[in-house]
Amino acid sequence: MEIKNIPLVNDRLSKEVRFENEKRGMIYYQMVKHAAVAGLDKETFARAAVNRIGRDNSRDFGEYGTLPEFVYSFMNEGLISQFRPELKEMDDESARVDFHYCPMLGGLTNMTEDQEELELLCDCAMETDRGLTSAVGLGFELGRTIANGHDTCELCFKWKEKKA
């Protein structure tokens, strides 16, 4: 299935930031590749490392009492300019945010055309969101993805009642 991952915002600053974000994707690719060359299991290594990044990202999220508060915090200015997220649906129990472009995948596709590897590395990269949501006490499901040939990546957030 052909990957359609076309950047939609092309002002000077957005292009420069995209260059840096694609570079992040390429750093990720090379680090996983060389960890595997050195003997580590590619998927186990990538998921563990990236999940830690997501958990660390939770430091940037303040206190919130509802799912919409989290989602509006998640959809910050940096995310909007780079991933073109669209809030597809949201109530107090669940929310779905679709990404129309992924600069990380843009970097990965510079490194390999292997569809199976792209899908694996994309799913492992989403450990950032799994790590983040687990750290802040939310549920998370990944739906269709651009790496799998779809038009968008579907991120589904689920509210969990906080324990007293």
Partner 1 sequence: MKNVPEKYIGDKSADTLRAAVENQAKWLYYLTVEGMERGLSGKFAEDAMRELGEYYADTEYLDCHTPKALAGKLMRRSMELGHEAEISVLGEEGFDLTIGYCPMVHMWSELTEDTERIRVLCGAACSMYEGIAGKKGMHVERTAAIAQGCGSCCLKFRKG
Q: Which residues bind partner 1 (CB under 8 A)?
A: 12-13, 16-17, 19-21, 23-24, 26-28, 30-35, 37-40, 45, 48-50, 52-53, 56, 78, 110-111
DSSP 8-state symbol, 149 = T
User: Looking at beta carbons only, is 10 or 65 nearer to partner 1?
Assistant: 10
Q: Tokens 């510079």 belong to which residue?
A: 110
User: Looking at beta carbons only, is 111 or 156 nearer to partner 1?
Assistant: 111
**Least distance (Å) between residue 94 CB and partner 1:** 27
Strand order in the sheet with 139-142: 85-90, 94-99, 153-158, 139-142
**Least distance (Å) between residue 91 CB and partner 1:** 31
C-alpha closest to that of 152 among 78, 92, 96: 96
User: Looking at beta carbons only, is 35 or 87 nearer to partner 1?
Assistant: 35
**CA 125-68-106 angle, 5° bins:** 25
User: Looking at beta carbons only, is 33 or 84 nearer to partner 1?
Assistant: 33
Q: Could you give the C-alpha distances from 111 to 32, 48, 99, 146, in angstroms and in order?
A: 12, 22, 21, 16
**Least distance (Å) between residue 11 CB and partner 1:** 11
**Least distance (Å) between residue 88 CB and partner 1:** 25
Q: Rg of the chain's alpha carbons, rounded to an integer?
A: 16
User: Looking at beta carbons only, is 66 or 110 nearer to partner 1?
Assistant: 110
**Least distance (Å) between residue 64 CB and partner 1:** 21
Count the neighbouring beta carbons within 10 Å of the beta carbon of residue 9: 15
> Quick one: the chain helix, strand, coil %, rounded to 5?
55, 15, 30
